[in-house]
Amino acid sequence: MTSISSMFQRWFKPQDKSENKLDLERLPQHVAIIMDGNGRWAKKRGLPRLAGHRAGAQAIREVVEIAPNLGIKFITLYTFSVENWQRPKTEVLGLMSLFREMVEAELDNLHENNVRIRAIGDLEGIEAATKETFERALKKTRNNSGLTLLIALNYSGREDILRAARQLAEEQKDKAVDSQSFTQEQFAMKLATAEVPDPELIIRTSGELRLSNFLIWESAYSEFWVTNKLWPDFRKDDFIQALYEYQNRNRRFGGLGI
Supply the residues annotated as catalytic.
36, 84
Give the span between the Cα atoms of 182 and 125, in whole angstroms. 30
Give the span between the Cα atoms of 217 and 64, in whole angstroms. 24
Q: What's the distance, CA 136 to chain centroid?
A: 20
Give the span between the Cα atoms of 175 and 168, in whole angstroms. 12
